[in-house]
Structure 1
Amino acid sequence: MPHRRIRLAAVGAVGLLLLSGCLHAAPASSIQEAPKDLGAQDVVSAVQADPALKELLPAEIRQSGVLTVGSAVGTPPIAFHPQDGGPPRGVDIDVADAVARKLGLTVKRDQVSGASLLTGLTAGRFAVGTANFSVTEERKKVLDFTTYLTDGTGILVRDDSSLTEVTDLAQLCGSSIGTGVGSTFENDLRRQQDKCVQAGKQPYRVSTYSDAAAHFLALREGHVDVLVSSASVLRYAAAQQPGLRLAGQLDRRDVGLATNKGAGLAEPLRAAIDALVAEGAYQKILAKWHLEEAGIQRSAVNPSAA
């Protein structure tokens, strides 16, 4: 562990994506989690444009010189607002900005969430969506995804916890668990809660939080034994908050930049990400956000999500 120091064919398709949720459906960050200097170091401006990669872009984007990006902004280290009210920061922000620079483009960013992110893509208000989107077969029916990270379901505990390496929810039977209200993690926990009873064990208890400060405070003060959320969010929290540690990750899923199906942008994005990996700029972004374990060696377009 480092030193303490996330265009549709019909309205129904939009509903499908909204119901499935973004992978990082953790509580929104509060001002306590985002001091003005958090993530302020610049690891992007040194990226140089590659004219050959720019030629891969759709003509309209290449000629405009602008990459329009819709970014969901919520929790460190994915994307968040610094305390001083400046532009959003996070791994999603840095990756999108670095990709744009490699393609010789300037980013124009809209800060959006939920339905606005998806309808903005479909309406052409922006070309790329970032929301720590996990790649799923259902989402691939209506969007293209270019991978840049992996994520999954993380388990965060206090340093004094007896839990060491959690690989199955059954290990949490009898525990009190905190998670984001209305998140995919809450849904998964409640759906599998009866497995403890079937195994003859005490069921775990689920408490939900809508605010990140309350979420982490509940763990630190012992109101819950475990937090379950995005592994990337929890890994970063463990690196930033003394007394907490990541006790496991239950799954691993590809995370991608979202573009409209067949828009011709997914492959140029893939080439740009691979170039960032080859030159080391990608690794600098991951190190900045303590996400080295979530990195990829090569990007892919619409990988299997089976």
Structure 2
Amino acid sequence: MSYRSRFFSIAIGTLLSVSGLLGTLAQAQEADLSPDQKSRVRVEKVDAAIKLIPAGYKFVTAGKLTVASVPGRLPFAAYATDNKTPVGSEPDVAQLVADSLGLQLELVPIAWADWPLGVVSGRFDAAIHNITVTEERKAKFDFSTYRNDLLGFYVPLNSKITSISKPEDVAGLKVIVSSGTNQEQILLRWIEANKAKGLPASEVQYYDDEAVLGVALQSGRADAYLGPNATSAFKAAKEKNTKLVGTFSGGWPETAEIAVATKKGSGLADAVTAAVNAQIANGNYAKALGRWNLSAEAVKESRTNPPGLPKS
């Protein structure tokens, strides 16, 4: 971060941290955070998917699909107003799968680091929380894809920028990105490619405070923000002061997909994949994603164990 950017952040950070918190709370209040989730999309069982459940498979609890969930941030998952029930886009997907398989959904809130051992040890039938398919993970888990892992460029509503789809489009722009992230590495590679072509340099900005980041974008101090599309799309829908001008894979140039993770070789993945595809076909899947403004990340088809991001 430049000296001026640091000074800007420090000077107004304290004042805006309170307003940022209030904005986050207001955003959450507009979403359905009730524990009963009456607005959640519910579906009928899918016989074709149920038939794919291996005859010898034993669910953690008979008649239930026990799913690891990581409440922390919307739209993925957060706690309901009872402070114990996970709600959000990922619990909604879990509900689609459970209903399709004729099972009651049992969501178990955990920390992110705990899902891999929980699935392998049989504590959970599945983990559903923004898990990207990678070749390394495929050694221990089977996957059923349900969402594209996208990064998004967001600009103020009144911005003249209408599209960012390739490295050349960021030439000369001031772009905010989080330090140490995959999107930062992609952006830096884009900038180096532009430099080699003799294109105008881009300015990279970093802000630790989300409220300060927002002010920098709205004031014109920055032109665009690059971050995970899911969280940015949810925020844009609620605050209505930014717009999406481009998305690309979170594994650029490789394709990255989000998937339900089940134990390797358990045989449950094919049933989950069939369940998701049934809901894609009848439109319920689209309704579930649309509820959290994640339509841009919809997949056309769920796949079992597709190529994952390569090992680093």
TM-score, structure 2 normalization: 0.76
- Classify 1:188/1:302 alpha carbon distance in 2 versus 1 (closer, same or farther; 3 Å): same
Q: Is 1:234 the equivalent of 2:232?
A: yes
Which of 28, 45, 49 in structure 2 is aligned with 1:49?
45
> What corresponds to 1:77 in structure 2?
75
Q: Secondary structure of 1:36's partner?
A: helix
Which segment is superposed worse, 181-190 or 257-266? 181-190
> What corresponds to 2:206 in structure 1?
207
Which structure's CA Rg is the greater one?
2
- Classify 1:84/1:37 alpha carbon distance in 2 versus 1 (closer, same or farther; 3 Å): farther
Fraction of identical pairs, as percent:
29
Q: Is 1:38 the equivalent of 2:69?
A: no
Q: Secondary structure of 2:164's partner?
A: coil
Which of 64, 67, 75 in structure 2 is aligned with 1:66?
64
**Structure 1 residues 1-306: aligned runs within 5 Å:** 31-32=24-25, 34-40=27-33, 42-44=38-40, 46-50=42-46, 53-58=49-54, 59-61=57-59, 64-81=62-79, 85=83, 87-200=85-198, 201-209=200-208, 212-251=210-249, 253-305=256-308
The separation in 2 between residues aligned to 1:94 and 1:184, in whole angstroms, is 27
Q: CA shift at 1:255, angstroms?
A: 1.7
Q: Secondary structure of 2:305's partner?
A: coil
Gapped regions of structure 2 (runs ≥ 5) = 1-21, 250-254
- CA deviations over 1:261-294 (Å, ceiling 9, x no partner): 2121111101111222233321221221222232
Q: CA shift at 1:206, angstroms?
A: 3.2
User: Amino acid of the residue matched to residue 263 of structure 1?
Assistant: S
Tell me the number of residue pairs that the alignment of Structure 1 and Structure 2 aligns.
278
Q: CA shift at 1:127, angstroms?
A: 2.1
- Classify 1:280/1:145 alpha carbon distance in 2 versus 1 (closer, same or farther; 3 Å): same
8 Å contact kept, 1:77–1:232 = yes
Q: CA shift at 1:244, angstroms?
A: 0.7
The separation in 2 between residues aligned to 1:158 and 1:166, in whole angstroms, is 14
Q: CA shift at 1:48, angstroms?
A: 2.3
The separation in 2 between residues aligned to 1:187 and 1:172, in whole angstroms, is 14
Gapped regions of structure 1 (runs ≥ 5) = 1-28
8 Å contact kept, 1:186–1:208 = no
The separation in 2 between residues aligned to 1:215 and 1:83, in whole angstroms, is 28
The separation in 2 between residues aligned to 1:305 and 1:91, in whole angstroms, is 22
TM-score, structure 1 normalization: 0.78
Q: CA shift at 1:77, angstroms?
A: 2.0
